[in-house]
Amino acid sequence: MSRRSVNLTGARWVAVAGVAALTIMVVVLASLALQRSRGETAAQPNPVPSFTLGVTTPTPTPTPEAPSPAPAASRADERFLATGSAVWWRGVAGECGVAEPLIERSDDGGATWTDVTPRYLGIGQIMTVSAFSAVDAEMVAAVGPACEAQALRTYTDGQFWEPYPEVLAASRYVDAADPSVVVFRGEPVPAPCPAPIGLRTSGDTAALICNGVAWTRTGAEWTALAPTGVVALTLVGSDIIVAHTDAACDGAAISRVTADNPAGVQPLGCAAGTDPGAPTAVTTLNGDVLLWSGDALAVLEALV
């Protein structure tokens, strides 16, 4: 054998020996790592949530949003809306010595309004407004320095108003000087609260609002009606039409309450987009409900 072939054979043995040594080293290191891991304490897992079997917590049922209470109304901001077949009338009460009243008329179905307030009479406050013919109106107002109650009528499209004592004697209104008193045909009757608003009458029935609750009187007693959150009312015979807050209505809801079932409420409609928090007046005309709220005049057709 030549020297060259001996050297090559030796090189092969050196390579084989190196690979074997490397393999032995890997086995030894793996064994040491395994033994070390067995000697260490295992990491504690996150605690498992515990459950109580047999006890079920019901999913909370959302509570329906209660209607917002009607805001406290100012007597000076109280509104009136009355309709004859040809002319409509509306007013803002005002308050003697505090805020001037306003009365307006419209002969185009509420599209435009004309101020016909009889300032020349020294009018200080309005307590009622009604249309007693197709074109004529009357009101009970506090007039003069003493804010004396007078019944005023106009036969001249509101240009002139004149007092009618006999009309006053038959009228029903909240006393301007003492709002806890309602005058029924000359007789003082205690109201169901210290400062009612919205008094309306029809035949022998009267209705008004105390702190968002409608009350009616036909005999000798006042009776509270449903619902709450009432902002305005009117009468159709002995039935009461109320505008009120309601969580299901994005505006003023309109309902009917009958005098013989004061707890029953018949929903009629929703004046969407109106603001039940604004001063409001409601009336009816030929079965339609007219609602004056803020700057809006809404007509809900064929409700009553």
- pLDDT tens digit string along 9-22? 333 333 334 434 44
Residues 212, 112: one domain?
no
The pLDDT of residue 47: 34
Question: Among the listed ranges 17-31, 136-150, 240-254, 255-269, which one has the minimum average pLDDT value?
Answer: 17-31
Decide if 228 is inside a domain. yes
The pLDDT of residue 36: 41
Boundary-marking domain end, from 190, 208, 224: 190
Nearest-angstrom CA–CA distance, 115 and 69:
32
DSSP character at residue 56: -
- Amino acid letter, residue 291: L
Residues 86, 173: one domain?
yes
Tell me how many helices (H) and strands (E) the chain has. 2, 22
Nearest-angstrom CA–CA distance, 40 and 152:
104
Residues 301, 218: one domain?
yes
Residues 91, 174: one domain?
yes
Greater confidence (1 vs 214) lies with: 214
Boundary-marking domain end, from 162, 190, 218: 190
Range of the domain at 280: 198-304
Q: Quote the number of domains for the chain.
A: 2
Structure tokens, 156: 């001249």
Decide if 37 is inside a domain. no
Greater confidence (182 vs 26) lies with: 182
Residues 217, 181: one domain?
no
Which residues, 6+ apart, have CB-to-CB distance to 207 below 8 Å?
198, 199, 200, 201, 214, 215, 216, 217, 225, 233, 235, 240
**In the predicted structure, residue 59 carries a pLDDT above the cut 50:** no
Residues 170, 240: one domain?
no
- Going by pLDDT thresholds of 50, 70 and 90, the confidence category of residue 146 is very high
181-184 vs 280-285, strand pairing mode: unpaired
Decide if 33 is inside a domain. no
- Amino acid letter, residue 261: N
Residues 253, 183: one domain?
no
- Which candidate, 247, 242, 252, places its Cα nearest to that of 294? 252
**In the predicted structure, residue 88 carries a pLDDT above the cut 90:** yes
Boundary-marking domain end, from 137, 161, 190: 190
- Please state whether the predicted TM-score (pTM) of the whole model is above 0.85: no
Helix (H) or strand (E) holding 181: strand 181-184
Residues 263, 170: one domain?
no
**In the predicted structure, residue 249 carries a pLDDT above the cut 50:** yes
Question: Among the listed ranges 70-74, 120-124, 160-164, 203-207, which one has the minimum average pLDDT value?
Answer: 70-74
Decide if 97 is inside a domain. yes
Question: Among the listed ranges 57-66, 71-80, 168-177, 275-284, which one has the minimum average pLDDT value?
Answer: 57-66
Residues 169, 97: one domain?
yes
Decide if 49 is inside a domain. no
Residue 104 · residue 110 · CB < 8 Å? no
Decide if 24 is inside a domain. no
Decide if 135 is inside a domain. yes
Residues 131, 207: one domain?
no
Mean predicted confidence (pLDDT) in 176-198? 96
The pLDDT of residue 219: 86
Helix (H, G, I), strand (E, B) or coil at 52: coil
Residues 221, 184: one domain?
no
Residues 141, 233: one domain?
no
Decide if 249 is inside a domain. yes
